[in-house]
Amino acid sequence: MSTIIESYHTKETEIERVAGVDESLYPKTDKERTVKARDYVFMWIGDGVNLGNMTLGASVIVAGVATLNIFQTILAAVIAIAIISTIFALNDRPGYKLGIPYVVQLRMSFGTKGTVISSLLRGVPAIVWYGIQSWIGGTALNEIAKIVTGGSFDNVAICFVALQLFQIVLSLYGFHAIKWVETVASVVFMAALVYVFGILLTSHSAEIAQNWVQAKGSWGLPFFGLIMVFLGNYAGIFVSAADYSRELKTGMSDGKRGALYFMPITLSYGFVIIIGAMLAAATGVTNPAKALPIVIDNPYISVFVSAFIVVAVIATNMVANIIPPAYVITLLTKLKYKASVTVTGLLALGAFPWLLIQESSSKGLNMFILIYSAFLGPVISILLVDYYILRKQKVNTAELYKEDGPFSGFNPAGLIAMFIGAGAAFLEVELAWIIGLVVAGTAYYLLSKFAFKGSSFKTGTIFEK
C-alpha cells in the first residue's frame, strides 16, 4: 500500500497525495486553469472539423448507393448533435466544479479498482481512433509527397509512421500545444471546407443529386442506426468531458458552458458530415483524403487541401484521442504524463486503421463505433445517474483520492449495471448506444437501491441510511 507523502488544498477539502500517483491526476486549481471560452470554442471546432467525421458522413453511401437521402442525413445529424451537446453539458460538471479528470470521476460509480475496467473502455477506442485519424492524415501526407515528387514517392505506411511520431512529440507539450493547434486548424480548415463545398456544388451537383439528394433512403433502422453511429462517434469524448472542462477558467455558468459545446459542434460536425456525404456521392470513395484530390483536379490546390487535412488530423487527435487514454495509462501504470502520451502514440501505430477504412465503404468503421458505444452508453448513463440522482451533485473530493475511503475497491452495482446494459445493447447493435444507456441507467438505480446493502458506495447518496 502506498504511503501518504503530502497534502493538496482545495477550497473545501484537504486531499491526501499518494506516492506513485502522477501530478496530472490531482484536481486542477483555479490558477492552473488557463483555457478561455474562446479557446474552448476553437478547440471543439477543430475537433469537429476532422476527416473521421467526414468519413461518417460518407458512410451513407455504400458502393455508390445512398442508404439515406439528404433530408434524412441532416435530420439524423441534428438529432445526434442536440443529444451530444446536452450530455456534454451535463457530464462536464464534475470536472469543472471539482477539477478532477475522468479516471477519478469514474471512482464515484465504479470504485478505485473498478475504474480500471471502465477507463479501458474509453482508452482503447481513443487509441484506435488515434490510429484511424493518423492513417487518414498519412494518406493526405502521401498525396502531398506524390505531387511534390512527381509520383516517384508513394508510400502511405511511411507517411503514417512519420505523422504519428510528429504527433507524439507535439503531445508532450500537453494542453498548451492543444490551444494554438486548435485555433489555427479550426479557422483555416473551415475556410478550406467552404472552398470544397463550393466546388462540389458547382462541378458535381448532378452526381450528388442523383446519388444522394434524390435517393429514396430509409426512415427505418438505417436512419436510427446513423444517429447511433454519430452518437457513438462522440461517446468516448463526452463520457470523458471532465478531462476538458477541468482546464476551463472558473466562473462560467452551466448555460454558458452548454453553449460552448452546442455552437461549435453544430457548426463543425454538421458541416463536415454534409461534405463527407457529398464527396462520397460525387466520387464513390469514402476515404476523404483520397476523394478530395479527385474532385479538386489541380495539383497546387490539392497540396493545399491535403496539408490542412494533416493539420486537422493532428488537431483532432490532440483533443479527443491523446489526453484521455494518456490519463488512463498514467492511472494504470503510474507512468508520468509525458511517458504516457508516448506510449499512447506507439499503441496507435498498431491499431490497423487501414482495415476499418476502405475506399468503397466505411462500414468497418461504423461497426467498430457501434461495438464500443455498446459499452460507453452504459458508462455515461451510470455516471449521470450517480452524480445527479444518487448524489445530487454533492461529492467529497478528498474521499475520491483515499485508498481506504468509501470509493475503494469495486462498486458491484456499477460494474453489474454496465455489463447488463452492454449485454442488452448487443441484442440490436445498430441501436447499441441508446439501448445500453437506458438499460444500464435503470439497472444502476435499482441495484444501488435494493442490492448490496452494506456497500460503502451508498455513502453520500440518497440511499445512505
Looking at the predicted structure, is the pLDDT value of residue 359 above 80?
no
Cell of 146: 506524390
**Coil vs helix vs strand at 410:** coil
C-alpha cell at 422: 452492454
Tell me which of 174-178, 210-214, 286-290 is least confident: 174-178
What does the pLDDT average to over 407-428? 94
Higher pLDDT, 255 or 379: 379
Confidence at residue 410, expressed as pLDDT on a 0 to 100 scale = 94
Q: Which of 109-113, 174-178, 331-335, 404-408 has the lowest mean pLDDT?
A: 174-178
Map grid coordinates 471546432 to a residue. Answer: 45
> The C-alpha cell of 332 is what?
494504470
pLDDT above 90 (res 24): no
Q: What angle do CA 348, 350, 354 make, to 5 degrees?
A: 95
- In this prediction, residue 456 has a pLDDT band, given cuts at 50, 70 and 90, of very high
Say which amino acid occupies 212. Answer: W
Give the residue-averaged pLDDT of 244-266: 90
Q: State how far the Cα of 264 lies from the Cα of 260, in Å rounded to an integer.
A: 7
Q: Are 105 and 32 in contact (CB under 8 A)?
A: no
Task: Give the model's pLDDT for residue 311.
Answer: 79
Query: Residue 417 pLDDT more than 90?
Result: yes
Please give the average per-residue pLDDT across 297-301, as a whole number. 76
Please give the full DSSP string across 275-309, using - where no structure is assigned.
Answer: HHHHHHHHHS---HHHHHHHH---HHHHHHHHHHH
The model's pLDDT over 73-90, given as tens digits with 9 standing for 90+, comes to 999 989 998 899 899 999
pLDDT for 12: 43
* Grid cell listed for 266: 453544430
Residue 143 in grid coordinates: 498525396
DSSP per-residue string spanning 166-234: HHHHHHTTTHHHHHHHHHHHHHHHHHHHHHHHHHHHHHSHHHHIIIIIT----SSHHHHHHHHHHHHHH
Q: What are phi and psi of 55, to 5 degrees?
A: -65, -35
Strands (E), 306-358: none
Q: What integer pLDDT is reported at residue 141 of this predicted model? A: 92
Quick one: which of 78, 40, 121 has its CA closest to 381? 121
pLDDT winner (highest mean) among 109-113, 269-273, 345-349: 109-113
Residue 110 above 50 pLDDT?
yes
The per-residue pLDDT for range 139-185, each reduced to its tens digit, is 889 989 998 898 899 998 899 999 999 999 988 876 666 666 666 66
Asked if CATH classification 3.10.20.30 holds for the domain at 32-373, the reply, yes or no, is no
Pair 363, 165: CB distance under 8 Å = no
DSSP helix/strand/coil, 8: strand
Percent of the chain topping pLDDT 90: 35
Q: Is the pLDDT of residue 237 over 80?
A: yes
Q: Is the pLDDT reported for residue 38 higher than 70?
A: yes
**pLDDT at res. 179:** 62
Indicate the average pLDDT of the chain.
85
pTM: 0.81
pLDDT of residue 75: 92
Q: Taking 80 as the threshold, does the pLDDT of residue 1 lie above it?
A: no
Q: For residues 308 and 294, what is the distance between their CA atoms, to the nearest angstrom?
A: 16
Residue 360 confidence (pLDDT): 46
Kindly give, in sequence order, each residue whose CB lies less than 8 Å from that of residue 191, ignoring residues fewer than 6 positions away: none
Residue for grid cell 438499460: 439
